[in-house]
Amino acid sequence: MKIIHLILGKANPERMNGVNKVVHALATQQHRAGADVAVWGITADVTVNYPPREFPTQLFKARRNPFALPRALGPVLAALAATTPDVVVHLHGAFIPVYHTLARRLTALGVPYVLTPHGSYSPAALGKSRLTKLVYQYLFENYLLQHSARVHCLGASEVVGVRQLSHNLRTSLLPYGFEPPRPVAPLFPAAPGRFRVGFCGRLDDNHKGLDCLIEGFAEFARHVPEAELWIIGDGPDRALVEDWAADAPEGSVQVLGSRFGDEKIALLGQLQVFALTSHYEGLPTAVLEAVALGVPCVVTEATNLGSYVREYGCGEVLPTASPKLLTEALHRLYDQWALATTSASAKAMAQRCQRMVRTAFNWPHLLPAYHQMYQQALAA
């Protein structure tokens, strides 16, 4: 079996784009397990400007018409279909115009494809620009969905959304795995005795619930003067975030901008709590990065991580993005932190966090399920 992961972008793990990070990790793990796997990327810039990787990558230059296939992609697909009978294409993302054209070409060639929408079909995501999406769905997205061999859902919220789109779609519910980062000593350690809450991700309020994060934290910080909020990342709403941060107690919110690699891991390792108040997600890697370092978290149900956080006892789960609920959750975690007078109690929490990542998101345990999903796609 040959697996082709096809994305918009280059699967560069040193970018804020979560889909590209996930595809890089999945292809890496599949390659290490002996799979014949490659990544194809559609991108405006075909320059190879990413770190060395273990799997082959082929970049195709995007065209001005968003529905048009890159010129070189059609012949490559035809040649692949003619020479490789057991190939599966794994598409990543949704509501992407070129995928409609690609789905038609793959269907004509008899090449099965799996679609991972990465959170785009969760009810909250579908509600954003709802009318536009309904029209697009009717004209284009339905073809992509109806001809997919499998719709791969990362979390329960996406299964709900997919069923709202169509009841007859073949779905697979399967999280991706996660390889824990190694702890990194910070070059500039933060001041001791502070209660640091952190966020890491794209600064997009409609997606990440940043107004809830800052408002809920600000109320918490008015009662806990040693509290700090570190916001790691960049995006279209950075100016809004900075404005909201100015309303919090002076100096309590730091907007740190994008950080990558060891620098980001060093910052996450200094947190007491990681908070993600998203309105929708596929499966956010930033939470897993923090929890793998032993940092407890506060997440919304929309992150698709709530069941894991409850099962392993490594944080708080909010039913929805509510500033009041976030404030209350931070107070509970602060009380636990303040009472953790022994290293044993703090170590126990860190161990529960790390156990969650090692157990529920273990790549060797999950890869056979991915292989089975591809086999089902070939047999469909």
The 10s digit of each residue's pLDDT in 78-125 is 999 999 999 999 999 999 999 999 999 999 999 999 999 999 998 888
Question: In this structure, is residue 190 part of a structural domain?
Answer: no
What pLDDT is stored for residue 186 in this prediction?
86
Question: In this structure, is residue 188 part of a structural domain?
Answer: no
| Phi, psi values for residue 370, rounded to 5° | -65, -45
**Cα–Cα dist 264/180, whole Å:** 13
| Mean pLDDT along residues 116-138 | 91
pLDDT band with cut points at 50, 70 and 90 for residue 58:
very high
Which CATH number goes with the domain that contains 111?
Answer: 3.40.50.2000
Do 145 and 201 sit in the same domain of this protein?
no
Question: In this structure, is residue 181 part of a structural domain?
Answer: no
Q: Residues 278-302: pLDDT tens digits?
A: 999 999 999 999 999 999 999 999 9
**Residue carrying structure tokens 């992609």:** 73
Do 251 and 110 sit in the same domain of this protein?
no
Q: Which of 10-24, 273-287, 366-380 has the lowest mean pLDDT?
A: 10-24
**Cα–Cα dist 166/280, whole Å:** 20
What pLDDT is stored for residue 123 in this prediction?
87
Q: Is the pLDDT of residue 164 over 90?
A: no
Q: Is the pLDDT of residue 347 over 70?
A: yes
**Cα–Cα dist 245/203, whole Å:** 13
Q: Is the pLDDT of residue 25 over 90?
A: yes
Do 145 and 249 sit in the same domain of this protein?
no
| Mean pLDDT along residues 353-367 | 95
Question: In this structure, is residue 112 part of a structural domain?
Answer: yes
pLDDT greater at residue 162 or residue 344: 162
Q: Is the pLDDT of residue 343 over 80?
A: no
What's the whole-model pTM score? 0.90
Question: In this structure, is residue 182 part of a structural domain?
Answer: no
Q: Which of 13-17, 142-146, 199-203, 233-237 has the lowest mean pLDDT?
A: 13-17
H or E element, residue 102: helix 97-109
Residue 259, amino acid:
R
Do 160 and 238 sit in the same domain of this protein?
no
Do 280 and 151 sit in the same domain of this protein?
no
Three-state DSSP class for residue 38: strand
**Cα–Cα dist 212/216, whole Å:** 6
| Mean pLDDT along residues 152-178 | 90
Report the share of the chain in percent with pLDDT over 90: 83
Do 219 and 172 sit in the same domain of this protein?
no
| Mean pLDDT along residues 199-209 | 95
Do 240 and 96 sit in the same domain of this protein?
no
Q: Tokens representing 131?
A: 């009318």
165 closest CA partner among 174, 180, 181, 153: 153
Do 290 and 172 sit in the same domain of this protein?
no
Strands (E), the chain: 2-8, 36-43, 57-61, 87-92, 113-116, 150-153, 171-173, 195-200, 227-232, 253-257, 273-276, 297-300, 315-318
What pLDDT is stored for residue 149 in this prediction?
97
Q: Tokens representing 62?
A: 């995007």
Do 119 and 202 sit in the same domain of this protein?
no
What pLDDT is stored for residue 124 in this prediction?
86
| Mean pLDDT along residues 56-85 | 96
**Cα–Cα dist 25/22, whole Å:** 5
Question: In this structure, is residue 185 part of a structural domain?
Answer: no
161 closest CA partner among 118, 195, 132: 118
Q: Is the pLDDT of residue 342 over 70?
A: no
Tell me the residue range of the domain where 225 lies: 195-360
Q: Residues 254-280: pLDDT tens digits?
A: 999 999 889 999 999 999 999 999 999
Q: Is the pLDDT of residue 17 over 90?
A: no
Q: Is the pLDDT of residue 16 over 80?
A: no
* CB of 119 closer than 8 Å to CB of 22: no
What pLDDT is stored for residue 341 in this prediction?
56
Q: Residues 312-333: pLDDT tens digits?
A: 999 999 999 999 999 999 999 9
Question: In this structure, is residue 235 part of a structural domain?
Answer: yes
What pLDDT is stored for residue 166 in this prediction?
83
Do 167 and 258 sit in the same domain of this protein?
no
| Mean pLDDT along residues 169-178 | 94
Distances (CA, A) of 149 to 74, 136, 187: 20, 21, 48
Whole-number average pLDDT of the chain: 94
Q: Tokens representing 110?
A: 């008899």
Do 142 and 217 sit in the same domain of this protein?
no
| Mean pLDDT along residues 364-374 | 97
How far does Cα 242 stand from its chain's mean position?
A: 24
Do 317 and 369 sit in the same domain of this protein?
no
Question: In this structure, is residue 206 part of a structural domain?
Answer: yes
**Residue carrying structure tokens 């929408």:** 117
**Cα–Cα dist 162/216, whole Å:** 31
The tally of domains found in the chain comes to 2
What pLDDT is stored for residue 192 in this prediction?
87
Q: Is the pLDDT of residue 233 over 90?
A: yes
